[in-house]
Chain A
Amino acid sequence: ETGVTQTPRHLVMGMTNKKSLKCEQHLGHNAMYWYKQSAKKPLELMFVYSLEERVENNSVPSRFSPECPNSSHLFLHLHTLQPEDSALYLCASSQSPTGNYGYTFGSGTRLTVV
C-alpha cells in the first residue's frame, strides 16, 4: 500500500440507493482530493480539501456530497446517482495544497450504477 487506502474497491448500486466511498491516508498530508476517471476522458477534479476545509467544488452535481472529518479521512456520499456516474473514483492526497507537491493516489473505487 502506498499510504492512501480506498474502500470499497468495487461498488454496484441502484439509482435509488445511498452509499459512501471512504478514503484514508497515513502520510501526514494536509490536502485530499476526489477525482473521477471515465474511459477516454481526462481525470476530472471533483473536490479539494485543504486542512479539512473544502477549497474547491468543481461544479459537481449535488448527488455527490463530500465530507472530510479530519485531515486523514475523506468520504464521498452518493445518492440517487445516474448510470453516467459509473466510473473509477480516485482519492489522492498531497503534502500541501500549494507549493506544487505530487499526489499520492489510492487504488480507486470502481462504481457501477444500474
Chain B
Amino acid sequence: GENVEQHPSTLSVQEGDSAVIKCTYSDSASNYFPWYKQELGKRPQLIIDIRSNVGEKKDQRIAVTLNKTAKHFSLHITETQPEDSAVYFCAAEGFGNEKLTFGTGTRLTIIP
C-alpha cells in the first residue's frame, strides 16, 4: 500500500518569512495530493490540492509543487502570518483507490 512521509515534524518561522513542508510517497500510481490544515482543537480543512497532470498550483500565499519522477510534493507558504500557525498534513491517493493516506503532520509555528 501507499506510504507517505512528511518532514519536518515541527517548523518555526519568523512572521513574514516563507515556510516549506515536504512529503514523499511510495506508490507511483498515486495521482492526487491534497494538503490539510488543522488548527488547535479544530477539524482538518483542505487548503490546496494538486493532481498528477500538473507540476505546480498556487492560491494566493500558498503553493504546491509536485515532482512525479522523484515522488515528492511540497507545500510553500509565503509571507507567513500568525494565523498560519497550525498542523499541516499532506496526503496521497491513487485513482480508484477509495482512500487517502496521510503523512504524520508538521506543526508550524509563526513567530511574531
Contacts and interface: CB of A to CB of B under 8 A. Distances in A.
Interface of A: 2, 31, 33, 40-43, 45, 48, 50, 55-56, 90, 97-100, 102-108
Contacts of A55: 98
Interface residues of B, number: 25
Given A42-B4, A100-B95, A105-B43, 14 more contacts: A2-B45, A42-B105, A43-B89, A48-B99, A90-B44, A99-B95, A100-B31, A103-B44, A105-B36, A105-B44, A105-B45, A106-B43, A107-B42, A108-B43
A98 B101 CA distance: 14
8 contacts: A2-B45, A31-B98, A97-B98, A98-B96, A99-B95, A102-B34, A103-B44, A104-B46
A56 to B, nearest CB: 6
B57 to A, nearest CB: 13
A41 B43 contact: no
Contacts of B98: 31, 48, 50, 55-56, 97-98
Contacts of B100: 45, 103
Interface string B64-97: 0000000000000000000000000100010111
Nearest to B47: A102
B4 A107 contact: no
